[in-house]
Amino acid sequence: MAQYNWPPKREEELMMWVEKLRAFAQRFGPVGYIALLVLITLIWLSTGFYIVRPGEQGVVRRFGRHVATTDPGLNYRFPYPVETVDVVNVANIRRAEVGFRTAATGKAQGILEEALMLTKDENIVEVQVLIQYRIKDPALFLFQVQNPEGVLASAAEVALRSSVGRMRIDDVITERRAEVQAETQQFLERLLDHYNSGILITEVRLQVADAPLQVRDAFHEVVRAREDRERLVNEAQAYMEDILPRARGESRKITEESIAYREERIRRARGDASRFMQVLEEYRRAPLVTRERMHIEALEEILPRSNKVILGQGSDSGILPFLPLRNMPGVASWERKEPGAPSAGGEKPGGSTAASERGRATPLRDFSSVRERQ
C-alpha cells in the first residue's frame, strides 16, 4: 500500500511552510493567493501518477473500496486521500510448507503436529508437503480473505489429511505418492476457489512420506521383505514364461516324432505283409524253387557276417591244416583297406584267406548239387 507523509509530521516544518506561503501571498496580493492555490493543486494532482512493473498489477481503491485493477506500465489515479493503489506481484511463485519449516540456514525442521496423519488402515504416517502458488486475482487476495497465507496453510493441511486418510500406509509411502499429490492439489484448489482467495496452486510436492521415526526401521524391513517377495515372484514368472514354451515345443516335437515313427512302422509292416503275400503266391506255384531261393538269400545275408571256416575233405591231412591269419594285427589292417588294394609284399590281402573263401563256396556247390538232384 502506498503511503504519503502529508501533512508533515514535524510541527516546525509545517509552520515554516505556512510562513513561506503567507509571505508569498502577501507579496502579490489576491493574485498570489490564487496562484498559490493553483500550484498546490497541480502538485497534488501530479502525485497521482504511479508505475506498475512487469509481473505486477495495481489495485486501485477509492475511499477504501476497490474500483479498478491496472496492468503494468504508467498509470494514474486520483491522489491521496481520494484514491490509493496497492501494487501486488502476481508472477512471483510463492511457497507454503505443511509439516515442516525451513530455517534461515536452509535446514528443514519437522512439525509433528502438522506432519503426523492417520491412514485408512489406522496407521500413523509422517507426511511433509511443499506447496507452490501464485496470486491470480490481487483484489480477492487483498480484500476477500483475511490472512490468505494462513488460510492457504490450513486448507492445505485439510486437503492432505483427506487424501492420506483414504489410502493405506503402503500406498502413501511407496506406490501412490503421485496420486496423493494430485488429489491434494485438486482438493486444495476447490477449497481456495470456494473461499475466493485469489490464489492459484501451481504444484504440490511430497517432501517426506514415511513411518514415524520410532518404528521407521522396522517398517523399512517389512517393505524390503515385500520387495524381495515381488522380485522372487517376478523371477519365477519369467522362468515359467521361459520354460513353458520350451516344454510345449519339446512335447510337440516328441508327438510328431511318435506320429512319424508310427506311420513308418505301419508302412513297413504293410510292405512286409505285401512282400510275404507275393512270396506265398510264388511258393504256391513252385514250392521247391521258392524254398531254395529263400534259403540261399538267407545264407547270403548271414554268412558274410560269420567267422565260421569250412574245410574240405582231405584238408586235415597236412601238418598245418588251418592258419588263423584273420586275428593277426597285420591282416586285420589289410582287411580294412579297399578291395583290390596291393599290400606291402605285392600280394592281395585276400590271398591269405583263400582256404576260408574256398570253404565258404562249398555250401553253395552243395546246394546246387541238391537242386540238380531234385
- Name the 3-class secondary structure at 205: strand
Residue 177 neighbours by CB distance under 10 Å:
16
* Average of per-residue pLDDT across 90-107: 88
Instruction: State how far the Cα of 106 lies from the Cα of 98, in Å rounded to an integer.
Output: 16
- Name the 3-class secondary structure at 107: coil
Cα–Cα separations (whole angstroms), residue 73 to 50, 57, 67, 86, 194: 8, 9, 18, 14, 32
Q: pLDDT by residue (tens digit) across 343-365?
A: 444 444 444 443 444 444 344 33
pLDDT over 70, % of the chain? 77
CB 192, CB 133: distance < 8 Å: no
Domains identified in the chain and CATH numbers? 11-89 (no CATH), 94-211 (3.30.479.30), 286-315+323-337+349-373 (no CATH)
Query: Chain-centre distance of CA 10, in angstroms?
Result: 74
Of 361, 369, 358, nearest in space to 300 by CA: 361
Query: Chain-centre distance of CA 56, in angstroms?
Result: 44
Q: In what order do the strands lie in the sheet with 56-62?
A: 65-70, 56-62, 83-89
pLDDT for 6 beyond 70: no
Of 284, 96, 106, 303, nearest in space to 200 by CA: 96
Spell out the residues 6+ positions from residue 69 whose beta carbon is closer than 8 angstroms to its own. Answer: 57, 58, 59, 60, 138, 139
Q: Indicate the pLDDT class of residue 369, thresholds 50, 70 and 90.
A: very low
Instruction: State how far the Cα of 62 lies from the Cα of 39, in Å rounded to an integer.
Output: 24
Q: Indicate the pLDDT class of residue 367, thresholds 50, 70 and 90.
A: very low
Q: Indicate the pLDDT class of residue 328, thresholds 50, 70 and 90.
A: low
Q: Indicate the pLDDT class of residue 331, thresholds 50, 70 and 90.
A: low
CB 75, CB 2: distance < 8 Å: no
pLDDT for position 321:
65
Residue 122's region, left for phi above 0, alpha for psi from -120 to 50, else beta, is left
What are the phi and psi torsion angles at 78 (to 5°)? -65, 140
